Amino acid sequence: MNSLLLHIGARILAWPLLLISIWILYRGHNLPGGGFIGGLLAAGVFMLYDLSGYGRPKRGFFSLSPFFFLPLGLGIAVLSTLPGLLSGGTFMEGIWLPGFELPLLGSVHLGTPFVFDIGVWFTVIGFVILLNETLASEEDPS
Amino acid sequence: MPLYLPILITLFLAALSPWWVARHRPSFIIAGGLLQFGMAAHFITLLASSATGGEVVRAHAPNLFPTRLIEWSFAGNSWSLLFAVMITGIGLLVFLFAQGYFGSSAKGHRFYASLLTFEAAMLGVVLADHAVLLFLFWELTSVSSFFLIAYNHLDKEARWNALQALLVTGIGGVAMLAGFLILGNEWGTFSIESWRTLALDGTSVPFAALCLILLGAITKSALFPFFFWLPNAMSAPAPVSSYLHSATMVKAGIFLIGALHPLFQTSQPIMITIVVLGALTSVTGLVLGWIQTDTKKILAYTTLSVLGMLALLMGVGSPDALKVAVLVMVGHACYKAGLFMAAGAVDKATGCRDIRKLGGLRQVLPVLGIASLVLALSKSGFPPLLGFVGKEYAYKLGFAGPGSAYALLAFLFIINVGLMALALRVACTPFRKDRPVGGPDPAETKALSPLIMVGPVVLAVAGIVLGILAPWLLSPVVSAVVSHIHGQNVVLSLKLWHGFQPALFLSIATLAAGWWIYRSTSVSGAQNLITRFLGGFEGAYAASYAGLMSGSAWLSGKLQSGDLRAYLRCFFTGVLLLVGYMWWSSGFGFVSLPEDAGPIPWVEWMLLPIIAVFLWLIVTTYSRILALLAFAVIGFGIAFLFARLGAPDLALTLLLVETFTIVLFVHIIRGLPPLRTIVPLRGRLLDIVIASGVGIMMTLLVLKTQVVQAQPAISSTLTEWSYAMAKGKNVVNVILVDFRALDTLGEITVVALAAVGVNMLWKKGNPSTTKP
């Protein structure tokens, strides 16, 4: 069952949804959100593409494979544990850069927990789209 | 240089070896050889300084997760450094021998990875000061030896033997860990040095812990009744046998008994057990070795015999006995590794290991023949070789002791005569003058790489040099080692010539008897009543293995029926019973609504009928998709509740998860048959009872959590910390990515693995699926 409407809808929604997802990822440290929720939201775009039956774009972010996202996410998460250890602290100790001001975003605090959350974000995206791809792979036994 | 650096470098080289060996073999051999030479030299310097009264070398590696249960602490005392020297020194020779033995075989990269891993693990065992760390390395030796024994993995017997060695030593290792944990709990420390000090100070040692640790030692050193795995491990290639099964791994049990000697010494029954098991092993080795026809098997059984003798001497435990043990051990490591290499070289040259068929090789392999002879003479205790020093002191020990020592003397005499006869049989028969009918033709022997010769020749020379120079070279080392094992300072001096004493005459008698027996007997290979009886221990292993297999097949057939309903029934009934018991035993604590609950807003009341209606729909519908959607509605309802009650993160997540679950389930539902009633009415009534029970239980539990507060709530502390320590105002997120980030790391790993697992299972179940 292919739906052109859904496909076009997905194309229109794709980038705004991704932006919202990244925004949710970013604001997670202070407001509801975070890597898990943001990752689920971004994965939703992939799912919309898959459900429409016309497949995903051939290039760009939404063409990436789950086997790209999973190792990337886990790798970022693991790497984020090291700065604490290397700077003489313990494993996974949070290291923060000094805060600075940015237009639109206000005061920005970046640190290893945020990097870790980015790893979670990628992993969750890879997880959902791999599951969806796998379970949907029986479609159209042509 | 920190003590653990050699272990790390060896492990690193092991990790690198598959790649390196495949690319450029010669440079790998040179690098590996140099590394091991350097390590051996390093440990010899350390041993020398420790023997001349130097301090114990200690090293601590930083710990990723600080905990008392594991610390990367290492200590190099004379006993462990002696082992480290043997491990790296013989390791070097075996490393070169393996290159000569395998040539440029394609499987070589696998071999070196396992061999170097084993070497690193073995170094870890002897150098670790933390008991749990020792256990880790101990198990790593078992695992790497599994791969080494099963090197010819296409051979079913090799696999069976490797598994046997792994299971026997593995079970012993777990018992040992249990013993360590008991001791660590009792004494509040896992440091082996502290344990020794505590035991020497007269602290009482838990008997159960000693038994368990001893079990680990006797399985590893193949003592009675676990001796059978060692001869079977001979399906490993010759380099492995000469390394693991003569010089290093099988001595780990002896090492452990030595390292914890002050602990064992507190218990008379334990020491007697060690003596008895040692004696039984010794005799078993001789009796079974007598009928073997395979050169490597003969060597394996004589190894058993020596291991038994070592255990016996450790069990006797006096400084003099320990001195003999150390001498015999060093001597054995040298000559046995050399003899195994020689047997491997003969096998390589002729393709034959049957002692009845070998002969006439003295012309074609003269160097190997002479080296073999020297090694065998060292084993027989021929002056002035290293083996002689040990045997001479063993006899002196017997003569010096009180009455019962004559039993020891007789025992030692028999064992030594038997060992000598077997040593000559295995080492000299292939090089005798005449060639038996049907044996391999000496003229057709394959040329051997010079690297093969290095090991036997060096070890033969070492036997001579160490024997002659024993008074000067070995005296301080043996004194230091014995002082360490015994826990009190002992000064010993070694002599080659003791004058005309009874021990000397007994030595001469031993040599004569051994020679006479070697000349006048031949091997038949036939079983007799005693060997059949001893074979029964292996039979017991095989039977318990088969029993375990069929038992677990039966049990999992019963438990793992594959019916989801059955699982759920079991699970929920179990939970009901457990919680019910807790509740009953606490006197049915009254559950009441919290007093400050206040009125429930009407929007939340509204959820109740909605959830009830959709629940009814789920239970009664025969459409899977309808049930799924009804579930989702309930999920959304709960998400709504979360949002109302101040958990927006939870609500958001639940909304997204519910949505995605529908999509994923729809994919699955397409392949499922339509729903129908397959459970009979009685079963459904039971299900109703269980389901209602669980529902009531959960309701009561939720209500109870409102009034019970066993400890101060952690949530307020976390909220307080959240911004101050982790710079985040969203506590839920801070917990996920900072406070409990390790949990999250574990979770996303599991999540990723689960997705890959589903992917692979699905593909496997649908071979027609050809999605790129």
Interhelix angle for B25-51 vs B470-486, to 10°?
A: 70
Is residue B223 assigned to a domain?
A: no
Nearest to B253 by CA among B197, B191, B325, B353: B325
Is residue B506 assigned to a domain?
A: yes
For B377-403, the pLDDT digits (tens) are 888 888 888 888 888 888 888 887 666
CA-CA distance, B694 to B685, in Å (whole number)?
Answer: 14
How many CB pairs below 8 A link A and B?
144
Percent of chain B with pLDDT over 70: 94
Cα angle: B552, vertex B553, B557; to 5 degrees: 110
Please name every residue paired with B70 in a beta bridge, in sequence order, or none if there are none. B67
| One-letter amino acid of B242 | S
Q: Are residues B749 and B680 in the same domain?
A: no
- Write out the E strands in B319-416: none
Residues of chain B positioned with their CB less than 8 A from the CB of A21 = none
What is the pLDDT at residue B152? 85
Is residue B408 assigned to a domain?
A: yes
- Sequence-distant (6+) residues with CB within 8 A of B256 are B176, B213, B216, B217, B220
CA-CA distance, B666 to B628, in Å (whole number)?
Answer: 9
Q: Are residues B710 and B733 in the same domain?
A: no
Residues of chain B positioned with their CB less than 8 A from the CB of A34 = 649, 730, 732-733, 736-737
Is residue B142 assigned to a domain?
A: no
Q: Are residues B510 and B592 in the same domain?
A: no
For B648-665, the pLDDT digits (tens) are 888 988 999 998 888 888
For B131-179, the pLDDT digits (tens) are 999 999 999 999 999 999 998 888 889 999 999 999 999 999 999 999 9
Number of Cβ within 10 Å of residue B524's Cβ equals 11
Q: Are residues B586 and B517 in the same domain?
A: no
Q: Are residues B687 and B725 in the same domain?
A: no
For B539-579, the pLDDT digits (tens) are 889 899 999 999 999 998 888 888 888 889 999 999 999 98
Nearest to A120 by CA among B652, B749, B661: B749
For B96-113, the pLDDT digits (tens) are 999 888 877 766 678 899
Does A92 contact B742 at a Cβ distance shorter than 8 Å? yes
Q: What are phi and psi of B278, to 5 degrees?
A: -60, -45
Is residue B555 assigned to a domain?
A: no
Residues of chain B positioned with their CB less than 8 A from the CB of A109 = 727
pTM (two decimals):
0.76
Confidence of residue B771 (pLDDT cuts 50, 70, 90): very low
B227 has a pLDDT exceeding 50: yes
Q: Could you tell me the sign of the dihedral formed by the alpha carbons of B279, B281, B282, B288, in that order?
A: positive
Residue B31 DSSP SS3? helix
Residues of chain B positioned with their CB less than 8 A from the CB of A51 = 663
Q: Are residues B692 and B761 in the same domain?
A: no
Confidence of residue A140 (pLDDT cuts 50, 70, 90): very low
Q: Are residues B704 and B722 in the same domain?
A: no
Confidence of residue B65 (pLDDT cuts 50, 70, 90): low
B772 has a pLDDT exceeding 60: no
Q: What is the arithmetic mean of pLDDT over B618-636?
A: 89
Q: Are residues B709 and B760 in the same domain?
A: no
Nearest by CB: B749 against A41, A74, A81: A74
What is the pLDDT at residue B770? 46
Does B737 contact A91 at a Cβ distance shorter than 8 Å? no
- Residue B439: DSSP 8-state: S
What is the pLDDT at residue A142? 38
Question: Based on the structure, what is the number of domains in chain B?
Answer: 3
Q: Are residues B701 and B721 in the same domain?
A: no
- If 0-12 CB within 10 Å is exposed, 13-18 middle and 19+ buried, where does residue B417 land? buried
Nearest to A110 by CA among A29, A23, A39, A24: A29
CB B352 within 8 A of CB B392: no
What is the pLDDT at residue B92? 93
Q: Domain range for residue B462?
A: 269-469+500-526
| One-letter amino acid of B43 | F
A141 has a pLDDT exceeding 50: no
Mean pLDDT of chain B: 86
For residue B568, give the CATH number of its domain.
1.20.120.1200
Q: Are residues B410 and B301 in the same domain?
A: yes
- Residue B363: DSSP 8-state: T
The most confident of the ranges A92-96, B177-181, B373-377, B755-759 is B177-181
Please name every residue paired with B75 in a beta bridge, in sequence order, or none if there are none. B58
CB A120 within 8 A of CB A35: yes
Is residue B392 assigned to a domain?
A: yes
Q: Are residues B568 and B695 in the same domain?
A: yes
Percent of chain B with pLDDT over 90: 38
Domain end position, chosen among B716, B746, B762: B716
Is residue B133 assigned to a domain?
A: no
B667 has a pLDDT exceeding 70: yes
Number of Cβ within 10 Å of residue B416's Cβ equals 27
Q: What is the arithmetic mean of pLDDT over B322-327?
A: 91
A90 has a pLDDT exceeding 80: no
For A3-24, the pLDDT digits (tens) are 888 889 888 999 999 999 999 8
Domain range annotation of chain A? 4-136
Q: Are residues B574 and B442 in the same domain?
A: no
Alpha-carbon separation of residue A108 from A76, A104, B129, B204, B729 (angstroms): 20, 10, 48, 61, 13
What is the pLDDT at residue B171? 92
For B468-508, the pLDDT digits (tens) are 888 888 888 999 999 999 888 888 878 777 777 788 888 88
Is residue B703 assigned to a domain?
A: yes
Nearest by CB: A131 against B664, B730, B734: B664
Does B729 contact A29 at a Cβ distance shorter than 8 Å? yes
Q: Which residue of A has its CA nearest to B653?
A: A37
